[in-house]
């Protein structure tokens, strides 16, 4: 066990480091090491061996699944509970749970501490610090440990790595792209509500296009609604003989843009559908 004081773990770029790992972009050797599989030794030592490939792959899979689940739950805690408002990363917390995530992260951490009570020790400056559990550098024993034990260790390593991330300066800066599912870190702490989902740099332009389209659709719907209401209000008179023109004027009064009778006739079917809906709603 290597004892390291907490303070050295408060790395600014931890969200970025974690995103790389979550995306599986680390080298195989690094991923294996993170999952508790030591680097291969070039020569054999009595009583130790190199882990089998099967064991390494299974441990990496277990480690990544655990880490991703924790990250997803953490991100969801600032998103799902206030779905109607949008994503608010500063409300992320470890107490949140849902049907999909039945155990709060808080509980996962407590269970970890039950398994490995971490001692508190004075660091080099005399401050009290947590002595982290770090079993990664131990040589691989022979005969190989039971696979289930190796997997349990990989899960615990994921938990401890995720806890280190929570201790970092900015666990609110990790995101998962709504489009491609890749994890990424923002350079700054987000301060505004993210209303249309978070997107990585690559997908961001696609997200921008979608936002414009959403807005356009909402505007169009609003115009059709106003037109339908006006359609019902219209009464023939000498000054307003033409229903299409009168409706167009009402829409123009309340919406941006040049609305003419042509627009009303082009959208007449849609307007009449909304007129029917309004009539039905009124009974």
Contact residues toward Zn ion (CB under 5 A) are 177, 179-180, 200, 203
Nearest residue (CB) to Zn ion, 209 versus 277: 209
Nearest residue (CB) to Zn ion, 210 versus 270: 210
Q: In 3D, which of 163, 103, 107 has the Cα closest to residue 133? A: 163
Give the nearest distance from C-beta 175 to Zn ion in angstroms: 10
Give the nearest distance from C-beta 19 to Zn ion in angstroms: 12
Give the nearest distance from C-beta 209 to Zn ion in angstroms: 14
Classify the C-alpha dihedral 221-223-226-229 as positive or negative: negative
Give the nearest distance from C-beta 206 to Zn ion in angstroms: 8
Q: Which two tokens stand for residue 154?
A: 């990989």
Nearest residue (CB) to Zn ion, 34 versus 200: 200
Give the nearest distance from C-beta 196 to Zn ion in angstroms: 13
Contact assessment for residue 101 and residue 83, using Cβ atoms and an 8 Å cutoff: no
Nearest residue (CB) to Zn ion, 135 versus 207: 207
Nearest residue (CB) to Zn ion, 13 versus 179: 179
Nearest residue (CB) to Zn ion, 164 versus 176: 176
């Amino acid at each position: 066990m290597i004892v390291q004081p907490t303070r050295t773990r408060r790395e600014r770029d931890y969200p970025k480091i974690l995103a790389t790992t979550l995306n599986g972009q680390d080298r195989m050797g690094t991923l294996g090491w993170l999952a508790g599989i030591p680097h291969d030794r070039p020569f054999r030592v009595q009583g130790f061996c190199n882990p089998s490939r099967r064991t390494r792959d299974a441990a990496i899979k277990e480690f990544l699944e655990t880490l991703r689940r924790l990250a997803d739950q953490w991100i969801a805690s600032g998103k799902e509970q206030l779905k109607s408002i949008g994503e608010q990363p500063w409300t992320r917390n470890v107490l949140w749970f849902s049907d999909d995530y039945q155990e709060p992260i808080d509980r996962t951490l407590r269970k970890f501490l039950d398994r490995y009570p971490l001692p508190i020790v004075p660091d080099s400056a005399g401050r009290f610090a947590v002595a982290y559990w770090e079993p990664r550098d131990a040589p691989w024993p022979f005969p190989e440990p039971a696979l289930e034990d190796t997997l349990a260790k990989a899960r615990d390593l994921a938990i401890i790595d995720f806890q280190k991330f929570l201790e970092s300066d900015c666990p609110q800066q990790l995101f998962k792209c709504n489009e491609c599912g890749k994890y990424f870190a923002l350079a700054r702490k987000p301060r505004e509500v993210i209303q249309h989902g978070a997107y990585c740099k690559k997908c961001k332009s696609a997200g921008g296009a979608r936002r414009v389209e959403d807005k356009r659709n909402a505007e169009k719907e609003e115009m059709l609604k106003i037109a339908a209401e006006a359609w019902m209000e219209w009464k023939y008179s000498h000054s307003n003989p033409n229903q299409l023109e009168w409706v167009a004027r009402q829409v123009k009064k309340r919406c941006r843009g040049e609305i003419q009778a042509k627009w009303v006739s082009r959208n007449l079917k849609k307007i009449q559908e909304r007129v029917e809906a309004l009539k039905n709603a009124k009974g």
